[in-house]
Structure 1
């Protein structure tokens, strides 16, 4: 996706570089003074890079990507409670040539979730919230209407993303602030169905996090954003942060907010939309990298000092302790923080909105943290690459046992984080995780067009060794085996599960082939038949009534095909939509299907009167009816009517 552009010839290189030379003053990094004293030369980052070389290292690392894979970045580094580096790179607004600075405001995306978990631990410390209690005891009666299992969902399940909720795509984010409702209204509007028993599978849930924030509201008696302002932002002097996605009350922040950009060819940036959310706790925060660095520092107080966030040191220790471990060496979850495989134990969270990407990672043992914010959709080179360069890699001891044979692994897996109903349920099957092995202790991983190579370093634990940067979020994967069968693949933020019998690979392949044939038929044959009927001289022995009815059936199939291809294109190009935006197309599916059924009945009546047909007419009719029924069946199976 982010291939480098090349050009030949010195004159051509000079001409192509001229715009960059003219913009050089704006693309040079902008820095602010660090908040601490000079750095001892002997101190190092977790990866071993010396702190006195940090700024030069970051400048060198960032340079190939600014104005190529991202328009701008803001980077802050914390050591021993002090911000030792804070710099902006590139352009916050390409059109107006506004440089990114330490004071530039970015969208934080899912890093916002950490404020929910911090708030919850504060309430738990006060004895107002039991992390192991049924969350329904904190909610209005009957608030959750789509639960499918009798087991209680605990607050810890919300923290561990194991509540069992499907991924509901609609009404999660909007492109206009006018569409935003209250947190409670957003939760009621976009409640997902529960598709797994609580505690069984890790399926990253935006809804679960916002539901946790609503519980914070209910317990504290304050709107969630007001609670965070009072109990977190003010305590940490985070004056350049707004926890909600709408900045109407903070024009100072809105004036300094970077524009976001969508993915395209390197150096070709398409302006994206700012992010607006009713369920803002899971991804709506706006602020500077320095403010986020202050937040990170609060989880790593100096020895002998207390954090401003909690009254008891054991609360902080509990929050940062593992709450859902996987394999001993596989990163797990720590009360909503995701473990990262750095040289030392690392915790944090990544974030993505429609047009921004970010990460926050902290290393408590070394009192070190890094914040990377970009105004680029799906940016991976800086967000994952620079973070890994600063955090280092773990030293995992070699296994004493014989490593299992990798050659048996050749399957497709579907994300536990997926839509379980409605037409969006088809999309996870279009982007399955495919594993294969062509060498001992090696796995080839393919996902959504990206590829990576992994090597087995301990039984069923695989480390990424090469591949596309977009898989940098998955430095490790772990295979859970039971009775010599794969139960799940554990990766960062979600599990991947084996395909069920109803959705086995042969059946999916057959459905895909049938869909392809039906779509091609109805996209080609009806227009051709219409033109042929219009310009062809009618045969006296023909059956014009049957032709018209057959043509009506074909046009029903054509319009169904076009409507659903357009629906798929719209969702793939931008899946952050209100449900009301696609509902007319789903209603149209029902109307077109009804029209096709009427045509089918009329054809049946016509055939009773005219049983004898020419061979050509029989073939045309047979193909039209059978492929229309196949198309309708597939639309029903994949729920393109709801």
Structure 2
């Protein structure tokens, strides 16, 4: 889920969720679950292939061979289910659900966190209410919300339900109070939204910036319109309609505690084949990523989205509603795919619809190809897993062949696009904004038609297929979520890069690499001085006591200033360490550090005032003037850096 993307090296990864309504029974061509191995392929499946061309009869062998490079090495376990024509043609668990207890993964039994795939259930519920005439996708959402519910809006422009679906409502990324390691901290959806409301930093409809808040806000609107808690609505209008008995969206799993008995243990990778057990994950804004369930239960949801002409939908009263749901609703350019009412479109051999999910220690991917009636469901109990979730999916659904435009076509030169960019999905307020400055997207021209994208030491190459549209031709799996990008150019300068999950914006001058280096140098100088100086003060104080020379008033104020600066450094080191150890924190847990910063800074300023007043009345040597002046300068540098990086917010 939008488990804070700051955990991943890249703010790309991604998630969204579908919800359902109506009271129709399971379609005639229901999902077959009697056999869960491709060894039991029906005769009717022989001769059929995946969209990429792999024969269904060879599917299990292909998947077995693919995952062996990752299971037990970079990934603890994975549950993989493949559907073709509403039939399971592969359902197989790989690796361990619990390493210590040697419990293998079982696609029918093992429970995983689905992460942001949960968002698709929100959008399903929204489309159900659209079908019932209760929601207009183009209406300002404030007409559905209590007056004054949103308090941090910067623009008067309406925010529509489509903006929430497309992640174009303009909200910054706010990560506090998103996830908790204890269910006791979970609050109601309404309280969670109020507690974690982000500032609106973009004009609605103009910038894609992935937002957990937007999805949960849409779910809250569903609550208001139906009079049901969202988890109750989901259970009644989605899970029951698709006969899902081993999945729950309840933030504490209180409605199906049996799932806890079969839940996989989540892991983080600490080195090759070295796995560390991770914290549990609970959220107040649970509609953005709290579903726990098995792979075959998620397969039932995927199957309900792909119907044959003669079938009716268990989720919608009209087939037209499902058709609309899966139709493109947003794209930044006619030559690239975009968003389909909350699904991300994928340009494979055939058009796909997909959504991934990430929590503290689980990664997942759901990919459907409606035209082929084909789906891939992959759930892992591994933090930040990409090679199986996205790499295997790509192998099964195939990639569109990238055709380079004719050489005589008038195409912009790639050098025009070179520069450094930062994700639009980012925090603008508070000290965590630093993180996003440390993982910029670097673009360099390979030749006049080809560019290379670089981030966190990883890279991928893209070729220009139409003016300012580039498609990936090779590179790291990390960039698979950005298979096609579009550059907005005005007067020869890039103003925005449109990409799935999050757009990218030019790095401001004040946050460019030269400035970052300058800030780093200043930080090293200031922190080093304030860490070493107390030791010098201690040594000097001992000498003065031995010689029975009491410290002057000016010396004492200087000592207070230095120790105050040292305390500020230690306070913020502890703050950073606490966030690194466990980033699932409420803002209330770190607010004390911000308050301490204010108090210590005030103490330091008072010390400086007294030093300046006393210094004017005291004869000082040049060395003393330099020493006291240096203390004041280093303290002000520290305060300046804390202001720049918003450690007072």
Deviations 1:31-82 (A, max 9, x none): 9357973353321111111111111100110111111111100001111111
Q: CA deviation at 1:539?
A: 8.0
2:646 maps to 639
Q: CA deviation at 1:497?
A: 0.7
Match of 2:394 among 385, 388, 395: 388
Query: Partners of 1:279 and 1:75 in 2: how far apart?
Result: 28
**Cα 1:347–1:575 shift into 2, 3 Å:** same
**CA contact 1:245–1:275 (8 Å) conserved in 2:** no
Matched, 1:249 2:277: no
Query: Partners of 1:539 and 1:475 in 2: how far apart?
Result: 73
**Cα 1:37–1:119 shift into 2, 3 Å:** same
**CA contact 2:36–2:88 (8 Å) conserved in 1:** no
Match of 2:36 among 8, 32, 39: 32
- Which moves more between the two structures, 444-453 or 120-129? 444-453
Q: CA deviation at 1:597?
A: 1.2
**RCO higher in structure (CA 8 A, sep ≥6):** 2
- Which moves more between the two structures, 325-334 or 99-108? 325-334
**CA contact 1:39–1:52 (8 Å) conserved in 2:** no
Match of 2:483 among 451, 462, 475: 475
Q: CA deviation at 1:384?
A: 1.3
Query: Partners of 2:275 and 2:445 in 1: how far apart?
Result: 37
Matched, 1:620 2:627: yes
1:334 maps to 340
Query: Partners of 1:153 and 1:633 in 2: how far apart?
Result: 37
Q: How does 1:111-510 map to 2 (within 5 A)?
A: 111-400=117-406, 401-510=409-518
Matched, 1:73 2:81: no
Q: CA deviation at 1:438?
A: 4.5
Q: CA deviation at 1:501?
A: 4.8
Query: Partners of 2:473 and 2:386 in 1: how far apart?
Result: 16
Listed as ranges, the gaps of 5+ residues in structure 1 are 3-30
- Which moves more between the two structures, 488-497 or 108-117? 488-497
1:26 maps to none
Query: Partners of 2:627 and 2:479 in 1: how far apart?
Result: 48
Q: TM-score, normalised by structure 1?
A: 0.91
Match of 1:601 among 606, 609, 616: 609
Query: Partners of 1:434 and 1:517 in 2: how far apart?
Result: 28
**Cα 1:473–1:570 shift into 2, 3 Å:** farther
Query: Partners of 1:432 and 1:516 in 2: how far apart?
Result: 22
1:6 maps to none
SS at match of 1:521: helix
Match of 2:56 among 47, 51, 58: 51
Q: CA deviation at 1:480?
A: 1.9
Q: CA deviation at 1:406?
A: 1.9
Listed as ranges, the gaps of 5+ residues in structure 2 are 1-6, 9-34
2:11 maps to none
Query: Partners of 1:566 and 1:454 in 2: how far apart?
Result: 42
- Which moves more between the two structures, 290-299 or 461-470? 461-470
**CA contact 2:172–2:427 (8 Å) conserved in 1:** yes
Q: TM-score, normalised by structure 2?
A: 0.90
**Cα 1:307–1:36 shift into 2, 3 Å:** farther
Over the residues paired in the alignment, what is the CA RMSD in angstroms?
2.2
**CA contact 2:250–2:286 (8 Å) conserved in 1:** yes
Deviations 1:83-136 (A, max 9, x none): 111111111011111111112000000000000000000100111111111111
Matched, 1:587 2:595: yes
Matched, 1:86 2:52: no
**Cα 1:330–1:517 shift into 2, 3 Å:** farther
**CA contact 1:39–1:51 (8 Å) conserved in 2:** no
Count of equivalent residues? 613
2:26 maps to none
SS at match of 1:494: coil
Deviations 1:8-37 (A, max 9, x none): xxxxxxxxxxxxxxxxxxxxxxx9357973
**CA contact 2:544–2:551 (8 Å) conserved in 1:** no
SS at match of 2:254: coil
Query: Partners of 2:593 and 2:120 in 1: how far apart?
Result: 37
**CA contact 1:329–1:396 (8 Å) conserved in 2:** no
Deviations 1:311-353 (A, max 9, x none): 1122111111111112334231111101122111000100000
Deviations 1:286-309 (A, max 9, x none): 001111111111111013222211
